[in-house]
A and B are shown apart, each in its own frame.
Chain A
């Protein structure tokens, strides 16, 4: 069907819709030759039919008057709906023929018709995925599972795809009710497919596949604080970490107190001593040595001048604990005088 024939068919349909209130016999008598007549008109001059003859509704009114038919003043709702439907159908058909050539086909529907078997296969897959979501309680991947069973899911997939193709090939012979059921089910599946796509898209973008978050860039990404313990198991306060080049190693961030924020500039660990994961084993003896230093530290930490000295204090305690082993050789010389 050429574009001109299409235009004529649409025009006639709209004229007939506008004359819908006439008795069917009279309407047919008036319009049976209209297509032929419009073909003659179209052959006589350039321009679209609407440009040359006006809107089909106007044409119908003039035709009605000239033919001596009753004026169609009282158009009821059905007729208005019918004429609106005819107009919409005409627009769609015009769009169909206009979109066809860019796709390489006469009409867009010619192209879409070729895709129907692909839709049948997709529909079977979507039905299988819908059952997957229902039986597994909302969990789904890319393959269908029946109650979590992959093999059962694949068998179901094959069955559904074959069933969908079977229904698709027979859709023309279906009576009204089964056809409506298939159409409603198809709409449900399309809506489900969109919802599932959106959910899958979200999961991919945020990397949430049900696993714990792992740091890929650096294994220290999740470190918030550093606690240094000496060989006696005592917490070392105001410890500083450096790499082999003397650059300070920066880990974590203080989040326990205002003081800790100030300490952050000095990069002394731990930021938050009270959050230490281990406490000294003997509560009586080792704790007091830690607590005096910790009580003296907070008082000195607010003023920056005190802190350089403070960083030195852990160092002696560290060396002091190391001293006894190194000191033991020195007592050995002392016996020599007695010799």
Chain B
């Protein structure tokens, strides 16, 4: 089992969480995820996740014109997105607690 496999399940949650603090454009979101420690996340994964969350109605977008570089498409959480983040966050925490307990009881080193 490697991080890439784990990421598949929780990338939605990670992206939603990153967007909760501040709106961001694709590359900016990728950079924030990597800074947070998810170094193995790929550009295509983030882009695909953003497209899927947007299609599911959890995100809204707006374009910010730029003088120096290209126009940037910003993603932000809407109400549905925030709800989803709350629910997914709770689910993850209970899941993670269950896993921690399971491993602790059997003496697996952290």
Binding site for B on A (CB under 8 A): 29-30, 33-34, 36-37, 39-41, 43-44, 52-53, 58-60, 62-68
Contacts and interface: CB of A to CB of B under 8 A. Distances in A.
Contacts of B48: 30, 62-67
A62 B44 contact: yes
Contact of A66 (B27, B44, B73): B44
Interface residues of B, number: 21
B71 interface: yes
Contact of A63 (B11, B47, B70): B47
5 contacts: A29-B55, A36-B73, A37-B27, A63-B47, A64-B48
Interface in B55-109: 55, 69-73
A33 B27 contact: no
B71 A65 contact: no
B43 A59 contact: yes
Interface of B: 8, 11, 25-27, 42-49, 51-52, 55, 69-73
Given A41-B27, A59-B44, A66-B45, A33 B73 contact: yes
Nearest to A59: B44
A315 to B, nearest CB: 107
A43 B70 contact: yes
A59 B48 CA distance: 10
A24 B11 CA distance: 26
A171 to B, nearest CB: 37
B52 A37 contact: no
Given A33-B73, A43-B69, A66-B49, A53 B27 contact: no
